A and B are shown apart, each in its own frame.
Chain A
Amino acid sequence: MSELELGLLVAGVTVGMLLLGTPVAFVLGSVAIVFLVAFEGVDALDIVPNVFYGGLDSFALLSIPMFIVMGGAIASSRAGSDLYEALDRWLYRVPGGLMVSNIGACAIFAALSGSSPATCAAIGKMGIPEMRKRGYDDGLATGSIAAGGTLGILIPPSITMIVYGIATETSIGRLFLAGLLPGLMLTGLFVTWGLIQARLTRDVSTARARAFSLREKLEVLPRVAPFILIIAGILWVLYGGVATPSEAAGVGAVMCLALVIVIYRMTSLRDHWAMLRSSMREAVMILMIIAAAELFSYMMSTLYITQSLALWIADLEVNRWILMAWINLFLLVAGFFLPPVAVILMTAPTLLPIIEAAGFDPIWFAVVLTINMEIGLITPPVGLNLYVINGIVPDVKLPTILWGALPFMLCMVLGIVLLCLFPGIALWLPEFLMGPSF
């Protein structure tokens, strides 16, 4: 059997086993072991515990649980509502300003929490009922929050980017920087579309909020500012090369915990324990997939599948943009069924040699991949954000949310196209601040 046929077989078996409903981590591990034993013999098992444990033994990787705790601390407080409140008080005059506030609050909160579903829950809980009350169409109200929440995995600090950085051995600092401008660009696209749609349906004109005095505008700031300062501090520390991601994340997490206790008086130990337990669950889920993915990519490269696939695609001599389109289509389909972290861990080590052989920048590709994964977060059957929003407003049906989110998905596709035309949107900032990567 050639390596390519073997690769197809691996892909087929993996998809089949995923459909059984076995957790992703155990599917990847099982497939790796079955193929290793079948082609390398039972002796190949000796190295398995070492590879499995070794997959977790990286200091950069350990920033993931820290960032999760940081996001969890913020998400468990009322910071989301305050953020929303603050933006609304400043933007209430703008036509469609409420929707702009919502998307803006999503973007900022996404950066703070690093989690898309948490962003949807925190901002949506306040924002969606308010938008509906002021006459916005249900689809626009829910769709804008669903889409705004996905920004969490693009705007730094982003757990998805850390995972990509580890899977492909790319600089995490550079990846974070690369996500910043495209994140703002997407926010801009979302806002633009929201304003257009609000105008088209003319459902905002009746939606005047009451006026806010300057004092009311200022009093909300002190509660929100410290969190934003922490994020700014983390980014500054990372790009200054002062500290490693794990150090920055660890200190950031403890500072956010302290702020939550001081500002929001969250002193109940029970609440903190619950927050730490759900952070632990999320971190363990991701780290387990990482360990198993290490085993999976070890199998793929031991059996020369990764290498042969890259060579084969290079030999095809297809146009590199057609190749990029196919890769995106493949990732999009994978993103329909699997969460971003799982897709990245399963595909990035195999895709990276192909991407590099075709002359694409791995940092740029990380941004394209992430936006692609964002689309998967608001499409069924696994679109997490849709279900979170459905949970907040059960009387809005899933198809309404989906239709509302559709234009925003097209904004993301437009974002990918813009990135292909102008790679500088992603690459300019990291190169400007950190110098060229090669």
Chain B
Amino acid sequence: MMALVRAIRGLSTLGGMVAVCLLLVALASVCHLVFVRYVLGASAIWQHEVVSFSLIGATFLGAPYVLMTKGHVNVDLLDLYLNDGARRALAIAASTVTIAFCGLIAWLSYGWWWEAWAGDWHNETVWAPPLWIPYAAMPIGMTLLTLQALADLLAAGGITGPDPAVDTQQERGPVKPLGASK
């Protein structure tokens, strides 16, 4: 069981790295767009779509990493007033809701992605990219998200301990000025 949880966390971390790379792709594409449009005076063809696709892709592929590092905002009001047992029950219920929702969206989006692939959908633009490529981010991301929520459920149920490799406390803090300590 521990190995399964570790594997899921590995996948979530990988998703997070891909998301950061997609963020960089989006930044580079926007700059290229601005250069082409305002410096060269030409019209941009593919940049808008690449920016959209990369950032939406980053959202879905990065979401499991964000869940793993407790970055999705939630209301933890009751946590303050409950004892350990009730808190654990609450964590189990919370993870169950996440699994149900993400699992359902993952399942629905597979069908949606399949339609785009089988029907050879294209964006109605000059560039006209095939849509199954960007759409794939949703089923993949939501599946990983379901798995990560499952890993959290296993941890909350006491089946596995929290992964010491993931320092969530450090991740939760605000952006720290890196140079401040120098």
Residues of A close to B51: CB separation below 8 A: 59, 62, 246, 250
Residue in A23, A56, A275 whose beta carbon sits within 8 Å of that of B73 in the complex:
A23
In the complex, A25 has a CB within 8 A of chain B: yes
Q: Are A21 and B30 in contact (CB under 8 A)?
A: no
In the complex, B112 has a CB within 8 A of chain A: yes
Residues of B close to A77: CB separation below 8 A: 177-179
In the complex, A280 has a CB within 8 A of chain B: yes
Q: Are A26 and B97 in contact (CB under 8 A)?
A: yes
Residue in B66, B94, B112, B182 whose beta carbon sits within 8 Å of that of A281 in the complex:
B66
Kindly report which residue of chain B lies nearest to residue A23, judged by CB atoms. Answer: B72
Chain B proximity mask over A240-273: 1 for CB below 8 Å, otherwise 0: 0011001101110110000000001010000101
Q: How far is the CA of A30 from the CA of B20 in the complex (A)?
A: 27
Q: Are A247 and B52 in contact (CB under 8 A)?
A: no
Q: How far is the CA of A22 from the CA of B67 in the complex (A)?
A: 11
Chain A proximity mask over B56-90: 1 for CB below 8 Å, otherwise 0: 10110011011101011111111110000000001
Residue in A46, A253, A277, A337 whose beta carbon sits within 8 Å of that of B75 in the complex:
A337
Q: Are B55 and A287 in contact (CB under 8 A)?
A: yes
Q: Are A56 and B59 in contact (CB under 8 A)?
A: yes
Q: How far is the CA of A275 from the CA of B176 in the complex (A)?
A: 9
Stretch touching chain A among B3-11, B101-109, B158-166 = B101-109
In the complex, B100 has a CB within 8 A of chain A: yes
* Complex interface residues of chain B between 21 and 76 (CB less than 8 A to chain A): 23-24, 26-27, 30-31, 33-34, 38, 48, 51-52, 55-56, 58-59, 62-63, 65-67, 69, 71-76
Q: Are B77 and A24 in contact (CB under 8 A)?
A: no
Q: By CB atoms of chain A within 10 A, which of B51, B74, B77 has the most?
A: B74
In the complex, A161 has a CB within 8 A of chain B: no
Kindly report which residue of chain B lies nearest to residue A73, judged by CB atoms. Answer: B175
Kindly report which residue of chain B lies nearest to residue A122, judged by CB atoms. Answer: B177
Residues of B close to A75: CB separation below 8 A: 175, 177
Q: How far is the CA of A5 from the CA of B167 in the complex (A)?
A: 45
In the complex, A134 has a CB within 8 A of chain B: no
In the complex, A187 has a CB within 8 A of chain B: no
Residues of B close to A23: CB separation below 8 A: 67, 72-74, 98
Instruction: Tell me the smallest distance from the CB of A122 to a CB of chain B, in Å.
Output: 5
The answer to whether A24 and B178 touch (CB under 8 A), given A62-B26, A250-B34, A280-B62, is: no
Stretch touching chain B among A12-20, A227-235, A416-424 = A12-20
Chain A contact residues, CB within 8 Å of chain B: 17-27, 29-30, 33, 45-46, 48-50, 52-53, 56-57, 59, 62, 65-66, 69, 71-72, 75-78, 80-81, 115, 117-118, 120-122, 125-126, 242-243, 246-247, 249-251, 253-254, 264, 266, 271, 273-285, 287-289, 291, 337-339, 342, 381-382, 384, 388, 391
A-B residue pairs in contact (CB < 8 Å), sample of 24: A17-B97, A19-B75, A20-B94, A21-B75, A23-B74, A29-B105, A30-B97, A33-B104, A45-B108, A52-B105, A62-B26, A65-B23, A65-B26, A75-B175, A77-B179, A78-B177, A120-B174, A121-B175, A264-B179, A266-B178, A279-B23, A283-B59, A284-B66, A288-B66
In the complex, besides A18-B75, A284-B62, 12 extra interface pairs with C-beta distance below 8 angstroms are A22-B98, A29-B105, A49-B138, A65-B55, A66-B26, A80-B177, A115-B175, A243-B38, A251-B34, A276-B24, A281-B65, A284-B71
Chain B contact residues, CB within 8 Å of chain A: 16, 19-20, 23-24, 26-27, 30-31, 33-34, 38, 48, 51-52, 55-56, 58-59, 62-63, 65-67, 69, 71-80, 90-91, 93-95, 97-98, 100-102, 104-105, 108-109, 111-112, 135, 138, 171, 173-180, 182
List the 7 shortest-distance A-B pairs measured between CB atoms, nearest first.
A250-B30, A23-B72, A78-B179, A49-B112, A117-B174, A284-B62, A287-B59
